[in-house]
Structure 1
């Protein structure tokens, strides 16, 4: 890749992580040639990915971390991964939001990115179990509104519940609140998605809360970057035939795209040129 020397650190690290996961491991000297950067730059990138817990450094290179199905990364760790992909997905998903409708946003870093792009969609009613998502809408209110809100601003309902490492509220309180509501569209972030396991999460309580979200939605839109395909958490909470659309990024291989099309009625690949 001739212009990889100009890649931002985040883009380089995303490429490195993809290579490590795809090949099961890679050597430093291979990465320096592929990315056209120095040995020191590659080692700094590997150090950063190792701190996030997504690779393990070995002598001369790196291998992927095989996570337990119960492992649940915190919000801050996940927010550092696939930033460009999440922004592309968020923009594409926001275009599906219709003014004046009732929507739901689950927890996660991709739905958090999406929330920023929904601020300009007028008159939404937003139900969420994500503290971070609710904060996005709250911060957008002008100072000194004394409890009021600007014209066209979203009405936000934050469920109660017990807070998870990803800053989602789950458990019986959240489940009861969601059970009594009905949404036009659910924008759902996931820990993992696969043809066999469907949608899954490492958190048992979050799985039940997500089941409630899915049951209460007329349309389910999953927002997930390409690294989520093939990942399986401890508990499945929905099958693929309960999903209307998957919005993902251009990092998917052709083989995986074919598999997704076989199982899902709608696939949106964000950040990809229309003529590809």
Structure 2
């Protein structure tokens, strides 16, 4: 017996909340309905602010300062924006550089592009970033990938004393930092206290700090500040950022780069 529309939507909300993110195809198969029906249900639920509708599915909403979405939940959000940001950020890296990449889905997209840049030394505390560099053939282009040790977090980061100790001994030319949130009051922040300390060690290891963050991160505040806005040499974000917010950032960050989809 098929579910009524409201019953079906209750099931969708429950699956989104329990998994963090779901795809339209998975919901259609689970509910025994068409993908078009699922998309209409997601439209209704998004208007009610019960889910966030994203490309190909939906994610949970209502995160607090200490709530940390899983990597798979964040990976389906703002896909075009993250790819555009990654393309711009990759242009800041020259062959032979020593580069640091924090964990995060935007730095993960950046890693796919840096895999094509020859002779890099890339240090990261992200399992996903290291895998992207490996599968992208970074080693075959003469690059070296160094993965710190540590305890794994929901965002696929390795954090804690082991990771911090490894990072404190390094000198990197450029560090790319992905963040949970950014605001005038809290700077660049994270919902994970332990990840904050590891990210701070990565920031301190770099001569230049580049923050990669799409426009939805503006106004989001995690419980712990990684760095103040004025510590970033470059911020790469996207055109969805409001002009007033961009003005605030340009008053603090040395250079704000607006990435636009379409760059290869």
TM-score by length of 1: 0.74
Preserved contact between residue 150 and residue 160 of structure 2 (Cα < 8 Å): yes
Q: C-alpha root-mean-square deviation of aligned residues, in Å?
A: 2.6
Moved over 6 A (4+): 48-52
Distance in 2 between the 1:51 and 1:140 partners? Answer: 38
Superposition pairs for residues 125-204 of structure 1, below 5 Å?
Answer: 125-141=121-137, 149-150=139-140, 152-204=141-193
Match of 1:209 among 198, 218, 231: 198
SS, match of residue 117 in structure 1: helix
Given the superposition, is the C-alpha separation of residues 190 and 184 from structure 1 closer, same or farther in structure 2, using an over 3 Å criterion? Answer: same
Partner of 1:224: 213
Distance in 2 between the 1:83 and 1:49 partners? Answer: 21
Which range moved further: 233-242 or 201-210? 233-242
SS, match of residue 219 in structure 1: strand
Q: Does 1:256 align with 2:256?
A: no
Preserved contact between residue 80 and residue 261 of structure 2 (Cα < 8 Å): no
Deviations 1:84-133 (A, max 9, x none): 00000000000001110100000000000000111111100000000001
Given the superposition, is the C-alpha separation of residues 250 and 219 from structure 1 closer, same or farther in structure 2, using an over 3 Å criterion? Answer: same
Q: Does 1:115 align with 2:111?
A: yes
Deviations 1:217-271 (A, max 9, x none): 1000000000001110011121112110100011011111111111111100000
Distance in 2 between the 1:244 and 1:167 partners? Answer: 26
Given the superposition, is the C-alpha separation of residues 199 and 49 from structure 1 closer, same or farther in structure 2, using an over 3 Å criterion? Answer: farther
Distance in 2 between the 1:68 and 1:237 partners? Answer: 17
Preserved contact between residue 81 and residue 261 of structure 2 (Cα < 8 Å): no
Deviations 1:24-44 (A, max 9, x none): xxxxxxxxxxxxxx9974433
* Alignment gaps of 5+ in structure 2: 1-35, 54-59
1:65 Cα offset (Å): 3.8
1:49 Cα offset (Å): 9.9
Q: Does 1:243 align with 2:248?
A: no
Aligned length: 222
Given the superposition, is the C-alpha separation of residues 42 and 262 from structure 1 closer, same or farther in structure 2, using an over 3 Å criterion? Answer: farther
Match of 1:101 among 97, 101, 115: 97
Preserved contact between residue 52 and residue 77 of structure 1 (Cα < 8 Å): no
